[in-house]
Chain A
């Protein structure tokens, strides 16, 4: 059973607002990831981290940023939300090759 938590579960926010999506895991995993899931279901990697103070951009270009100051915490920030950012954001952590455990996701709507 994986212990990875995302907050909030749902968020509706106005254009131009700054938002931070929270992700925490209690398993001590070094590797963490953010995936964006568009309304057509497709999942795209937008950020990942191997450990504290390491972050990398994923396959899909994203205007979001991430930080990894603590092993257990991997927040994602949008400085200025736009309607094109409307999506579901899924956080995951992994301890070995590809075996990722996912949080319940944050459904973001920007109006």
Chain B
């Protein structure tokens, strides 16, 4: 069965610090998809990134970057120069290659960025 582990329950940083959110996954499939979602205090889940299992290239989008390593089954997320608006709960998720496209989420990491 698939599983996603986010070992960090809560992280507190001061604005402008860099922060990395860890994500480790388990799956028996060779084809799968990994995601990060952000949940601000308003409650909705906002899609950040989708990565398939065959694409191990790191990705950078503005202050956000993602490091996907199949060898360690990890998909870590780094925010550079954090801002107060980054405060939210961040979820890592996994979708196996089935027609159902259901997501298995980690338990989430709450990020608090103080001024």
Contact = CB atoms under 8 A, between A and B. Distances in A.
B101 A40 contact: no
Interface size class of A (residues with CB under 8 A): 20 to 34
Contacts, number: 69
Given A98-B35, A99-B47, A45 B95 contact: no
Contacts of B111: none
A31 B101 contact: yes
B97 A97 contact: yes
Interface stretch (B11-19, B37-45, B72-80): B37-45
A31 B43 contact: no
B63 interface: no
A97 B44 contact: no
B112 interface: no
B20 to A, nearest CB: 19
Nearest to A90: B45
Interface of B: 33, 35, 37, 42-47, 50, 52, 89, 91, 93, 95, 97, 99-105, 107-108, 110
